[in-house]
Amino acid sequence: QVLVRKPIGIETAGSLNVLFSDKTGTITKGQLEVVEFFDGSVQDSYDTSSAIQEMLGLCIGRNTGAMFDDHGQVIGGNATDKALLNYLTQARFDALKAVEIEQAQQFNSANKYSAAQIQGKTYYKGAPERLLANATHYLDASGEKQPLDLSIINQKIDQLAEKSMRVLSFAYSESLLVENELPSDLVMVGFVGIRDDVRPEARQAIKEVQDARIQVVMITGDRKETAVAIAKDCGLIQKESDVALTSEELNKLSDEEVKELLPNIRVIARALPTDKSRMVRLTQELNLVCGMTGDGVNDAPALKRADVGFAMGSGTDVAKEVGDIVILDDNFKSIESAILYGRTIYNNIQKFIKFQLTINVAAVAVCAIVPFLGMEQPLGVTHILWINLIMDGLGALALGAEPALRTYMQERPKSRTENIISRSMMGQILGAGAYITAMSLIFLQHPFFTELFDSIGHYLSDTHLTAYFSLFVLIAVFNGFNIRSNSLNLFVHLEENPGFVKVMGSIMAVQVVLTFVGGKMFSCTPLTIEQWGIILVLAFTIIPVDLLRKYILQLLNSKNENIIVLDVQSQGNNYENEKNVLEFDR
């Protein structure tokens, strides 16, 4: 569900520090739905009472401007009517079609209710404050009338309002319908809470993005109370220090005040398009990488200015044109996927660089040192061409398809100024390169190998040159397994990248064939089984050497973490602070 329009967009997505996200349709479902029902006793008795079900069916199914089409989709009416019909279900709606409506009154903003007269009774649907004002009883689960306690109902309505729900009420009367007048004998059938609910997958996606050290800020046109309720529900607001602002409050603050407050901002309500552009500008002035979502024409400037512009699939063509990435399903989960794959691409590029530079460093070092030892160059032009083909094209095929790992979402975002070759990468490249260089010089000069491959003094026989050429290629192949993962388990997630094994296996097979058919072009000659065995053993030694390096690093990291934990505990900080310090250290 992620359409990448500009390749730089998906790569940059992995380095986001701040993500400004729309609410409607991205964090929420983008459609109203009934999420709660209760009767006059503030109990959910809809499923247990056939009387309430029957009355509610008439209040909704025969008192609406919407209907189901042949495909089961609700058409006509407003968003509220559609939500109510979906709650009623098509089967119950179809069962009520035979019920004749004697008289009806459509909803209007002045009355705040609609009504339908059926078989001498009138059924109402409207705002609670309007219907409750003329009600004295409610219908209980057994179908009997009970005295109405307005205080507990109003308390319940207030509680739902805090959860960003809009409450709608239903009632009936024994009186006939009178235009624009409510009778005084209303009996409350029940109440429903309607809300544009949070996507279930968005809660987990937001948590994963936050765990990736990315600050998520929800930007919405809703009122502040509604926005805060949604933000709490989806996990954006969790602490007292988390800040929610309206557009008016935001514009009263200077740029410097906003920058100071920015790390704590979680919600911007009643937002204007200009607020989006301003927040992008201020974030970038702090040297942070920011992403912005949008779907309208007015969002285009902010999408274009952001480091990564996420245009919504249901949005305007203008927004899609300026966006770097189009989220086809408008879902926050897909934004999280874009971030994950952005980080995967970055990590795979780093793996490819390590794979390439390790062998290049060794090749350059060997070619630079052997003349000082009075030896001829062990690698010819055709040898180096084949090695470069392995390092470039085949290496990219093998490592470029490494899977997207959830562990990448636990890494910190990359800085704008950060070198793609990190210190740990440089250590691995130089360490492995030095080992390969040392092994090469020993292989080329030690009497055991010169005698084994029929070399005389500093003159390398064709057999010795072929053996060294094969050794160099096989070391590159085995080192590829070292580079795939920082884990001590070299085969972790290997089944998710079968192409890696195929490419490396193909390289080894071609290398063996070259010793038989390479001839003068590759200065190759066939090797014996014993000679191949020695080459394989020597090439394989690159694996335990690198495993030792990884093990030592893990011990050092574990020791540093223990020191930090002890230091934090000595200062009397709580567990959350300990965890934050450890994450920062990693």
Active site residue ranges: 22
Residues paired with residue 145 on neighbouring β-strands, in sequence order: 139
CA dihedral 222, 228, 231, 233 (to 10 degrees): -110
Phi/psi zone of residue 138: left (φ > 0), alpha (ψ -120 to 50 degrees), beta?
Answer: beta
Angle ∠(210,213,217) on CA atoms, nearest 5: 55
As a three-state string, the secondary structure of 28-74 is ECCCCEEEEEECCCCCCCCCCCHHHHHHHHHHHHCCCCEEECCCCCE
Rounded Cα gap, residues 530 and 562, in angstroms: 49
Q: Which of 213, 300, 278, 284 is nearest to 14 (CA)?
A: 213
Rounded to the nearest 10 degrees, the angle between the axes of helix 462-484 and helix 542-570 is 30
For residue 103, the SS3 value is strand
User: Of 464, 506, 504, which Cα lies nearest the Cα of 380?
Assistant: 464
| Structure letter (DSSP) for residue 495 | G
Q: What is the 3-state secondary structure (H, E, C) of 154-215?
A: HHHHHHHHHCCCEEEEEEEECCCCECCECCCCEEEEEEEEEECCECHHHHHHHHHHHHCCCE
Which own/partner pairs from 431-434 qualify as long-range (CB within 8 Å, at least 24 positions apart)? Answer: 431/546, 431/549, 432/358, 432/362, 432/479, 432/482, 432/542, 432/545, 432/546, 433/357, 433/358, 433/359, 433/361, 433/362, 433/365, 434/365
In angstroms, the Cα distances linking 427 to 351, 423, 480 are 13, 6, 16
Q: Closest by alpha carbon to 138, among 126, 153, 116, 127?
A: 153
State in Å, rounded, how far the first CA of the chain is from the last one.
32
DSSP state string for 444-493: HH-HHHHHHTT-BTTBPPHHHHHHHHHHHHHHHHHHHHHHH-SSS-TTTT
In a 13 Å sphere around the CA of 150, the CA atoms on its Cβ side amount to 9
